[in-house]
Structure 1
Amino acid sequence: MTFSERELQCFIAVAITGSLGRAAAQVHLAQPSLSRLVQRMETQLGQPLFDRTTRGMVLTEVGQVLFRHARHLLADMDTLRDELSAFRGLRRGVVRVGAVAAVMRGLVVNAAARMLEHSPAVRIDAREDVNSVLLQALDQREIDLVVTAGEISDEAFHCIGCCEYSDSFAVFCAYDHPIASKPALEEIFARQWVMPGSAFSPRVRFEALARSLGHKVCVGMETNSVEAMATMCQASQLLSWLPVPLMMPRVEQGLVRRLDVPALELRRHFWVYRRSRSLLSDAAREFLRHLPIHSCPSNDDVNLF
């Protein structure tokens, strides 16, 4: 069984779009040609890759296995091309980094600026999102490195080190909010909050913290956009629990206030991870040289720095 890179690309397009028509447009093939390509792959395997339904093309169990490995193979081929191109002087490659908002807008951006100053031929693709989405992207080889808030106990991910950086969460309100600057917990939890969805780690942590203090959180608005949470806090009577570095510009502009609630202040640290079963590209190694981190004990990557 051998499949070409082109065949794998076409297969993945059908799997993602669920439609021969949409996939054909994406891979620049006529729909009948794409249909024949998929049929040839199925004949070669001796098993169907898709169930043809009224809802479109749905992966079979065999198709799901091929889809998972095909994405990894194509990502590895892209990395190989980048590294081989470096020998021909064509480019130094691309590093794809994911981080939560507070770290992306400070630590990662500063490291990227230092890297580009020393290695202008390297390109960085930066992705800002929440921890769970970033780890999924790392697992699916959509990014090379993740700077995550908290340690991960998953054999699929390998810890490179702990960042020489930390921040803290605190309570914020609109500048003209009637609440006292140093409110009692009873007053705090009598108010409504703007929060991320219930599956996201900041919400989980905050609700656990509230329960430990004997209170419940009344959520007035849910959004997974950090910018939307900060803006809603600024424009309404809703309270927010957000990273201090993200909110300080608004505090300095007189748009929001940081409330003095020590029981609800939480410091967090950040770790850098890569996939366990993959090698770092030269571009990723170059980025890590400019990221201030402490290497983990018994870390295979310790010699990178």
Structure 2
Amino acid sequence: MRYELTDLRLFLAIAEAGSLSAGAAAVHLTASAASYRLKNLEFALGVPLFTRAARGMELTAAGTSVLKHVRGLFAGIEAMHGEIASFSKGLKGSVRIVANSSSLNGFIVPSLSRFLSAHPTINMVVEERPSTTILAAINDQEADIGILAGPVAATASDVTSRRFALDRLVIATPLDHPLLAHAAVPFATVLDRDFVCMDKASSNTVFLKEMAHQTGKGLSIRIHVQTFDAVLHMVAAGVGVALVPRSIASAALDAGRIGAVGLTDPWAHRELSLVTRAGDLSPLVSAVVDLLLDDPVVMASRLSKG
């Protein structure tokens, strides 16, 4: 069975792009050269890796299996390069992180900004995803580190889980809102209000809709915006209320721009977990894990009773 790393890199690029021409361009090959290499790879493996259709290239069942192993192979190569570089030039390389919106905006971005400023040879790829998809991303080797809401079951043997942070969801309101007469309310009683939300694909919005659906009530959304800063600005202006992590609302609360009401629902108190693949981590990934866990704000949240 003979094939080259270039063939596997091409396969990965086509799988991620869903297109032969786009995959070829990503690895700097012509479409004809890419087609030739792909056919040779499929011949060497003895199975078709893609079905070819007008809308693009779709992985076969065998191709999906190969994709997982190829991602692992290149993750290993990158880890090897990182380890070798760490002996002579300090940490160097790239780390991939997937996280839900709460942990990303409330904890991770401030930590990483300080880390990256101090380590100019390190790059980060950071992607927001719903918590329910993050374990799969780690298992499929799409990312090195994942941070999600909720504890991770002990049966998830392919990953190592660590308690990351504690946070709680609150209802952000304008300063003169009648809800501020209460310290905490059931979520179901807030659903007759107009909401300001993150964009439709945001994990925060997906979670909000799911919790509203569980109450059997509808959700009135006045506007979708792209950032939590924009959400809080709209709330302060009286556009509506918002479901946000207290870690994100704290600056606006301290500045007196908005109010906040707690929720009595158990799901509003959230434990965030940091997950990595089981086994030894590269020095670079280990350094980023330690950075995230040892951030003073993150550590303080773990000591808080919420």
TM-score after normalising by structure 2: 0.75
Offset of 1:35 from its aligned partner?
A: 1.0
Instruction: Map 1:33-112; keep pairs closer than 5 Å.
Output: 33-89=33-89, 91-105=91-105, 107-108=107-108, 111-112=111-112
Equivalent position SS for 1:181:
helix
Matched residues in 2 for 1:225 and 1:157: separation? 34
Matched residues in 1 for 2:46 and 2:108: separation? 47
Pair 1:158–1:115, CA change in 2 (3 A): same
Offset of 1:6 from its aligned partner?
A: 0.8
Equivalent position SS for 1:271:
strand
Pair 1:142–1:105, CA change in 2 (3 A): same
Offset of 1:173 from its aligned partner?
A: 1.7
Pair 1:250–1:79, CA change in 2 (3 A): same
Q: Does 1:132 align with 2:97?
A: no
Pair 1:89–1:146, CA change in 2 (3 A): same
2:144 corresponds in structure 1 to 144
Matched residues in 2 for 1:247 and 1:103: separation? 13
Pair 1:268–1:226, CA change in 2 (3 A): farther
Matched residues in 2 for 1:98 and 1:255: separation? 31
Equivalent position SS for 1:2:
coil
TM-score after normalising by structure 1: 0.75
1:216 corresponds in structure 2 to 217
Amino acid at match of 1:175: L
Offset of 1:255 from its aligned partner?
A: 3.3
Matched residues in 1 for 2:52 and 2:113: separation? 49
1:11 corresponds in structure 2 to 11
Equivalent position SS for 2:168:
strand
1:191 to 190, 193, 199: 193
| 2:212/2:219 contact within 8 Å kept | no
Q: What residue ranges of structure 2 are gaps of 5+ in the alignment?
A: 295-306
Offset of 1:76 from its aligned partner?
A: 1.6
Q: Does 1:288 align with 2:302?
A: no
For residues 215-251 of structure 1, the C-alpha deviation after alignment (integer angstroms, 9 at most, x for no partner) is 7352325859552543443445422121112112223
Matched residues in 2 for 1:233 and 1:2: separation? 60
Between 236-245 and 125-134, report the one with greater CA deviation: 125-134
Pair 1:188–1:104, CA change in 2 (3 A): closer
| 1:122/1:283 contact within 8 Å kept | no
Equivalent position SS for 1:238:
coil
| 1:195/1:203 contact within 8 Å kept | no
Pair 1:99–1:43, CA change in 2 (3 A): closer
CA RMSD of aligned residues (A): 3.5
Matched residues in 1 for 2:225 and 2:140: separation? 22
Amino acid at match of 2:284: A
Greater share of residues in helix: 2
| 2:144/2:285 contact within 8 Å kept | yes
2:276 corresponds in structure 1 to 274
For residues 84-126 of structure 1, the C-alpha deviation after alignment (integer angstroms, 9 at most, x for no partner) is 2223437444443343444345544565577679x84762526
| 2:167/2:271 contact within 8 Å kept | yes
| 2:106/2:248 contact within 8 Å kept | no
Pair member with larger Rg: 1
Offset of 1:77 from its aligned partner?
A: 1.4
2:241 corresponds in structure 1 to 239
Amino acid at match of 1:48: P
Matched residues in 1 for 2:104 and 2:96: separation? 12
Amino acid at match of 1:258: A
Between 10-19 and 190-199, report the one with greater CA deviation: 190-199
Offset of 1:149 from its aligned partner?
A: 2.0
Between 27-36 and 9-18, report the one with greater CA deviation: 9-18
| 2:3/2:44 contact within 8 Å kept | no
2:258 corresponds in structure 1 to 256
| 1:71/1:141 contact within 8 Å kept | yes
Offset of 1:182 from its aligned partner?
A: 1.7
Matched residues in 2 for 1:252 and 1:114: separation? 23
Pair 1:75–1:161, CA change in 2 (3 A): same
Offset of 1:11 from its aligned partner?
A: 1.2
| 1:101/1:226 contact within 8 Å kept | no
Offset of 1:37 from its aligned partner?
A: 0.7
- Percent of aligned pairs with the same residue? 23
